[in-house]
Chain A
Amino acid sequence: MSNINIDNQNINLEISLLLEAIFNKYGYDFRNYSKAHIKRRILHRLSLSGLDNISAMTHKAIYDKNFASQILLDFSINVTEMFRDPDFYFFIRKEVIPILKTYPFVKIWHAGCATGEEVYSMAILLKEENLYDRTQIYATDFNAKVIKSAKDGIYSIKNIKDFTRNYQKAGGKESFSDYYTANYNSVIIDNSLKKNIVFSEHNLVTDSVFAEVNMIICRNVLIYFNRDLQNKVMNLFNDSLVPGGILGLGTKESLQFLEKGKNYNCIDLKNKIYRKKYNV
């Protein structure tokens, strides 16, 4: 076997020891995340850190809490936007809202909500469809830092043009600027949109179900997990969703190959929107 192959085997061994150390010490479990993704992030951090190798990173992660937090941040990809994939929201407005309207009270869980843009997008949509006042939204992420920004609801003014365009493409009915107040370089989301949202830390890998809900939105989170972990998280969602409940995934995610997939009907293939069957 060539040296290069042995090197790569050793790198992989060092990575699994680092993940083991982080799990044992801090309780964050990345052992079933996509390995290629985790490896890229670790090697990137290694090159910035000035340390000699991954084992040195493990040592530092054990003794230096700040360094460990830095690694956790590296693993969590927080890229998001308002009305991301406008078509998704267009379909929700047209086809899903009428279903939700049949309930006296609606509970929605946004899992892996990052900095909250997705949650406020949903709040705007619900408000325009006169459903917000009887809705409770739980918005969760395992990254404390992004949950804090989500709660603040302050976004850079740079993004507003894109967000406005998305809002319009998503079938927005009002003027998007009604929903925020601009302030130098940033905008702050209107308080009326925040009142029925609870933001909290929740780890999909290690925490359990906390409520029965009518709709779960979990977009662009499962792609970072391997199949086993996707199945595990899907069990969690399945336990939380009422019969007939709605599940919205990211554009490139799918229930097709997951064990619990058979419990669901796909109601929009392009936007990956599913409905839980009644008799399961």
Chain B
Amino acid sequence: MSKKYKAIVIGTSAGGLEALVKILMPLPKDFSLPIIIVQHISPDSDNYMTQYLNSVCDINIKEADEKEKIKAGNVYIAPPNYHLLIEENFTLSLSNQEKVNFSRPSIDVLFETAAYAYGSTLIGVILTGANNDGSKGMKLIHNFNGLTIAQDPKTAYVDNMPLAAIKATKIDYILPLEKIAELLIKIHSGQKKKK
């Protein structure tokens, strides 16, 4: 692995909270790749999910604020009822434009803007979920030569979302959740040694 990755985006829907716990909990405190997440949630939910994840994980997890600079070592979660976009100057933007794929926040919106911002240095991860949001985004990440990872549909709570992504584009790794966490840790420690 010679390439240096700069950020990770993760998209998930039904069954997503448990899946996120399995990926984020093993990450060490000094995991320095920023992670930006869209999880489909009901528009009037509070920030329970963010607080919960932050309480069980070692890395710092927060809800995304508009115009916030993306910092190494942070995990950002899209707030309920807002799309989360990544600017090419590596800040975060929010929008309440119409739903995309029946979703707000939408995974495609995050993934496509992230692909333009990070190009080949982006890792895209698609997890359990009941619709096909995220598959267009995964395709763009792949077209920009970023790394694409999908949860193994056989292990997903709902398999539609990883299946749709696998159908839409080339997925570099199809893995169960534990292995995805291991892979991210391996990529991260490989990069750290090099510099």
Size class of B's contact patch?
Answer: 20 to 34
Residues of A with C-beta under 8 A to B186: none
Given A4-B143, A252-B79; A12-B88 close (CB under 8 Å): yes
Residues of B with C-beta under 8 A to A226: 67
Interface centre among A79, A253, A254 (most CB of B within 10 A): A79
B87 pairs with A36, CB closer than 8 A = yes
Q: How far is the CA of A230 from the CA of B94 in the complex (A)?
A: 14
A252 pairs with B97, CB closer than 8 A = no
Q: Which of B66, B86, B145 contacts A252 (CB 8 A)?
A: B66
Residues of B with C-beta under 8 A to A35: 87-88
Residues of B with C-beta under 8 A to A4: 119-120, 143-145
Q: Which of B65, B67, B116 contacts A39 (CB 8 A)?
A: B116
Given A8-B119, A223-B66; A77-B96 close (CB under 8 Å): yes
B93 pairs with A5, CB closer than 8 A = no
Number of A-B residue pairs having CB atoms within 8 Å of each other in the complex: 62
Interface mask (B102-128 → A, CB under 8 Å = 1, otherwise 0): 000000010011001101100000000
Residues of A with C-beta under 8 A to B97: 37, 77, 79
Residues of A with C-beta under 8 A to B66: 223, 252-254
Q: How far is the CA of A5 from the CA of B119 in the complex (A)?
A: 7
A252 pairs with B94, CB closer than 8 A = yes
Interface class of chain A by DSSP = helix
Q: Which of A2, A40, A224, A230 contacts B112 (CB 8 A)?
A: A40
Q: How far is the CA of A79 from the CA of B95 in the complex (A)?
A: 10
A34 pairs with B65, CB closer than 8 A = no
Q: Which of A40, A227, A253 contacts B113 (CB 8 A)?
A: A40
**CB of A220 within 8 A of chain B?**
yes
Which residue of A is nearest B146, CB measured?
A4
B85 pairs with A34, CB closer than 8 A = yes
**CB of B82 within 8 A of chain A?**
yes
Q: Closest CB of chain A to B195's CB: distance in Å?
A: 21
Which residue of A is nearest B114, CB measured?
A36
Residues of B with C-beta under 8 A to A77: 95-98
Q: Closest CB of chain B to A227's CB: distance in Å?
A: 6
Which residue of B is nearest A4, CB measured?
B144
Interface mask (B44-72 → A, CB under 8 Å = 1, otherwise 0): 00000000000000000000011100000
B88 pairs with A254, CB closer than 8 A = no
Residues of A with C-beta under 8 A to B96: 77, 79, 220, 223
Q: Closest CB of chain B to A113's CB: distance in Å?
A: 15
A40 pairs with B109, CB closer than 8 A = yes
Residues of A with C-beta under 8 A to B117: 36
Residues of A with C-beta under 8 A to B95: 34, 37, 77, 223-224
**CB of A278 within 8 A of chain B?**
no
Q: How far is the CA of A227 from the CA of B119 in the complex (A)?
A: 24
Q: Which of B88, B98, B119 contacts A36 (CB 8 A)?
A: B88
Residues of A with C-beta under 8 A to B79: 252
Enumerate A177-210 residues with CB–CB distance to B below 8 Å.
none
Given A8-B119, A39-B116, A227-B67; A34-B93 close (CB under 8 Å): yes
Q: Closest CB of chain A to B10's CB: distance in Å?
A: 18
Given A4-B119, A4-B120, A253-B66; A37-B93 close (CB under 8 Å): yes
A36 pairs with B145, CB closer than 8 A = no
Q: How far is the CA of A227 from the CA of B93 in the complex (A)?
A: 11
**CB of A257 within 8 A of chain B?**
yes
Residues of B with C-beta under 8 A to A36: 85-88, 93, 113, 116-117
Q: How far is the CA of A2 from the CA of B37 in the complex (A)?
A: 27
Q: How far is the CA of A68 from the CA of B55 in the complex (A)?
A: 49
Please give me the 4 A-B residue pairs with the lowest Cβ-Cβ distance, nearest first: A36-B85, A77-B97, A34-B93, A36-B113
Task: Identify 17 residue pairs between A and B in the complex whose beta-carbon atoms are under 8 Å apart, listed by A's number.
Answer: A2-B145, A4-B145, A5-B119, A34-B85, A34-B87, A35-B88, A36-B87, A36-B117, A37-B85, A40-B109, A77-B95, A79-B96, A226-B67, A252-B79, A252-B82, A253-B66, A254-B65
